[in-house]
Amino acid sequence: MKLNERSLAFYATCDSPADNTGFLYKRGERHTAYHRRWFVLKGNMLFYFEERESREPVGVIVLEGCNVELCDSAENFAFAIRFGGTKCRTYVLAAENQAAMESWVKSLSRASFDYLRLVVRELEKQLEEMRWGLTSGYGGCQGPSGSWRLKSSVLEQSPERLPALPAVLPKENGCAVWNNTPGVHRPPDTSGCNECDDEGNPRPPPLPPRRRASSSEVSSTRASGAESLSTFCQLHEQYGREVYRLRQNWLERQRGPQP
Amino acid sequence: MRYNERELLSLARQPAEKAAEVLMRVPKKGSVLKKRLVKLVVNFLFYFRTDEAEPIGALLLEHCRITKEEENVFSISFMEEPERKYCFECASEEQCQEWVEALKRASYEFMRRSLIFYRNEIQKMTGKDPLEQFGISGEARFQLAA
């Protein structure tokens, strides 16, 4: 299978911040000798170089669907990246001290795209719930802290026990069958905002579709980061004004009829 | 560059965020548009011959530029070689726009920025750091000043 290796190498060596770097000993595939390599973790990609100054990585380990565990190896401070499925290999690595080992185990076990996506969705949901919690007021919205704790406990489980991706789907006519992951395109839950209509007040602005068009830009540079952030900020502003207006109306009604 | 091919192949078999039959052209001299199945899984775009179960290849969608080209067409190019474009022709303009949007959000880096944004928003509204409950508030990769 082809991979855009040149781009991968560029991603590995460019000056975008790495999530972890350091020397680790990597056990060979066929021979059990350990080789010292310079490791660079960026996102869900664990690159390894022969030397720290090497221009190109020797290899990369894609960190999706793996478990990171300590292992008893003759080598001290050893840990393993284990993939599921038959014939999938286990990468055995060893750090130079306890602190380094712990740091790597921690960062590797939370490196997957899947994990990050779960956290983002959770925060997204919390933010939406807070924005539409008009009954609890705007400024002092705390959100249902009980349910926050409940949700966070789901994520606090060790990443190894995050819901597994669905099993391999059967082939049809020689082609793999695929589905959209359930829930990815589900629009945000809007059941809470009907309360606003009870008194004949205007409906709150409709929630926008999850995906918003943004002008074409490099998807990973800071510039486009600012662009998508300002879109979120604009959204926040927009809803903020609406919320403020509704709250003013409510306060006025509370004061009672003016003579 | 060595990579864990078996795991990548396994990833390619998983349910996709988005999948479609499109015409694809790779940035090689003399290459033409060919019918392909493309499948977006996490930050990879896999592409298959329409009758095969194993992908021909995969593109890691980091530091890339998604550009809307002419009608029904978009391209993917990478930061270090912006002229080398992978071109995709969709069945409709609507489908094309959907892919452009989906691919722009497909990178790990985009996801990280979203997390930082939401974290900041929630903190502003509540005074509390929502990452604390997940035990990851100290991680350097989620700090605002990156």
Residue-range definition of the domain harbouring residue B32: 5-128
B67 touches chain A (CB under 8 A): yes
> Domain for residue B115, yes or no?
yes
Q: ipTM of the predicted structure?
A: 0.92
Q: Is B15 helix (H, G, I), strand (E, B) or coil?
A: coil
Query: Which domains does chain A possess?
Result: 5-114 (2.30.29.30)
Total of domains in chain B: 1
Of A104, A145, A139, the residue nearest A251 (C-alpha): A139
Residue of B nearest to A127 (CA): B122
d(CA B64, CA B43): 11
> Domain for residue B139, yes or no?
no
> Domain for residue B138, yes or no?
no
Beta strands B57-60; B64-68: pairing state: unpaired
The minimum CA-CA distance between A194 and chain B, rounded to whole Å, is: 23
> Domain for residue B41, yes or no?
yes
B145 touches chain A (CB under 8 A): no
d(CA A62, CA A16): 18
Of B68, B119, B59, the residue nearest B98 (C-alpha): B68
Whether residues B6 and A184 touch (CB distance < 8 A) is answered with no
Helix (H) or strand (E) holding B9: helix B5-12
Q: What is the pLDDT of residues B13-44, one digit of tens each?
A: 999 999 999 999 999 999 999 999 999 999 99
**Other residues' Cβ atoms within 10 Å of the Cβ of residue B81:** 13
Beta strands A90-94; A78-83: pairing state: antiparallel
> Domain for residue B60, yes or no?
yes
The minimum CA-CA distance between A258 and chain B, rounded to whole Å, is: 33
- A7: exposed, middle or buried (Cβ count in 10 Å: 0-12, 13-18, 19+): buried
One pLDDT digit (tens) per residue for chain B, 146 residues: 999 998 999 999 999 999 999 999 999 999 999 999 999 999 999 999 999 999 999 999 999 999 999 999 999 999 989 999 999 999 999 999 999 999 999 999 999 999 999 999 999 888 888 888 888 888 888 886 54
Chain A residue numbers with beta carbons less than 8 Å from the beta carbon of B57 are: 1-4
Of B117, B66, B122, B123, the residue nearest B96 (C-alpha): B66
Q: Is A157 helix (H, G, I), strand (E, B) or coil?
A: coil
Q: What is the mean pLDDT of the segment spanning A24-43? A: 90
B99 touches chain A (CB under 8 A): no
Chain A residue numbers with beta carbons less than 8 Å from the beta carbon of B17 are: 180-181, 184
Q: Is A64 helix (H, G, I), strand (E, B) or coil?
A: coil
Read off the DSSP letter of residue B122: H
Chain A residue numbers with beta carbons less than 8 Å from the beta carbon of B139 are: 107, 110
B136 touches chain A (CB under 8 A): yes
B85 touches chain A (CB under 8 A): no
Q: Which 31-60 residues of chain B touch chain A by CB within 8 A? A: 37, 39, 42-43, 48, 50-60
Give me the CATH number covering residue B9.
2.30.29.30
> Domain for residue B111, yes or no?
yes
